[in-house]
Amino acid sequence: MVSKLAKRPVSENIVELVERKGIGHPDSIADGIAEAVSRSLCQLYLDEVGEILHHNVDQNEVSGGQSETWFGGGKIIDLPYIILLGRAVEDATFQDRKLRLPVRSEAVKAARSYLKENFHDSKLAQESGFNIEDCIVDVRMGKGSQDLIRNYQRQARRCPPNHQICKPANDTSLGVGYAPFTDTERLTYAMERFIRNEAPKHGLDAVGKDIKVMASRYKDEIHIIIACAIISPRVSDPYEYHSIIEQLKALCMQKAHDILGYNVEISINQADDLSSDDPGDYYLTLSGLSMENGDDGSVGRGNRVNGLITPFRPMSTEAAAGKNPVTHIGKLYNVLASQIASRIANEAGEEILEVQVKLLSQIGSPIDLPAIASVELITQDDNNYHKWNGRAWDITNESLSSIEELTGQIVKGSIALF
């Protein structure tokens, strides 16, 4: 159902607030690991039994270590501890052979690989004495409820005759999406990636990968607050620290202007006490990751599937990372709702100011037949509404009918989830 959205666009609200936890934030690390584990299990299942079996591995915990840092160096007192929890089917029958699938063993390897691929840096390991591979990765995954496994295996019961897609929704659950991004959202999203990818290229190799960007807009003034772990072995004293922050700030100011065409205010590492000589008054880490020192992370407490936290937008609290990409509605519908909103917004360009998509599943019904599919539009004017009304609905239906393609894309890793 398509309807008018009876409010002004988010970008016209007086106050706006947007956050992105970078990939090195402990909550994002938890998400990243969860999704890496799920993808590796999918691959294992496909290889061994030809189809993805039931699993939900969205329950790991990143329990931060303890470090001591000073200008020029530091040491790890306690290693970060990561425990993989959740569920995965481990007994299967394939072509009359009974199989035991190495789900826990694969999970640990996938988690370690994820850390290595994203955070390993031989040079830094040598300078700091801490290697990301030193993290303790433990696993206590269970087998899953027979109930949920059963539902997973079942054909949808409420399936209309001749309906093509038979996988039933695993739960009564909601997916939401919106488009287009406001300036504040675009900037927040871009800024984390910019710092992560570009800071080192500008000689700022002391800038770590744990980057949190929070943007608030009051009327038309955007204020970007960045918290960014600085790598202690690469900063010799408070002056150098200060200089790095100033250079980073200048870079970010320029980038923001490039993106928006106007200036924003930027603050970096506000909790620092620049009058102090004490390294404890600066955001120093050995590894560029706050999880080395007391910062914990959980799946599903960071970014939503579009990469942002937007408290004033409709949001699902579902954790998507680590859920099975076959029947888990909290994963599929959030991704799909975002995609639908984006497609409509992209196609319509400036004629549509805001699209909100809501998909509500019904447990047991085929995954492409939501209980509610609502598309709400804020258009430039009524003409535009009538122009896009039907097309929006078509896009929605097309997307729903190809929902099963998401699974493959998720397994391949071509869909970002946090």
| Region 12-41 residues binding a copy of itself, contact defined as CB under 8 A | 12-15, 17
- Within 102-121, the residues that bind a copy of itself by CB under 8 A are 102, 104-105, 108-109
Residues 163, 392: Cα–Cα separation, whole Å: 23
Minimum distance from residue 218 beta carbon to a copy of itself (Å): 6
- Within 353-382, the residues that bind a copy of itself by CB under 8 A are 358, 360, 362-364, 371-372, 374
Q: How many residues bind a copy of itself (CB under 8 A)?
A: 92
With binding defined as CB under 8 A, does residue 140 bind a copy of itself?
A: yes
With tokens 């936890």, the residue in question is 21
Residues 47, 69: Cα–Cα separation, whole Å: 45
**Binds a copy of itself by CB under 8 A, chosen from 120, 150, 386, 412:** 150
Q: What are phi and psi of 371, to 5 degrees?
A: -65, -40
- Within 71-90, the residues that bind a copy of itself by CB under 8 A are 75-79, 81, 83, 85-87, 90
Angular region, 86: left φ>0, alpha ψ -120 to 50, beta rest: left
235: closest CA among 70, 77, 76, 124?
70
- Within 230-269, the residues that bind a copy of itself by CB under 8 A are none
Q: Which is nearer to a copy of itself, 172 or 402 (CB)?
A: 172
Q: Which is nearer to a copy of itself, 253 or 360 (CB)?
A: 360
- Within 151-190, the residues that bind a copy of itself by CB under 8 A are 151, 157, 172, 174, 176
Tokens of 82: 């990561």
**Binds a copy of itself by CB under 8 A, chosen from 28, 59, 327, 339:** 59
Three-class SS of residue 63?
strand
Enumerate residues 6+ apart whose C-beta is below 8 A from 74. Answer: 67, 68, 128, 232, 233, 284, 285, 286
Task: Classify each residue of 307-319 as buried b or exposed e, where b means 16 or more C-beta atoms within 10 Å of its C-beta.
Answer: bbbbeebebbebb
Minimum distance from residue 104 beta carbon to a copy of itself (Å): 5
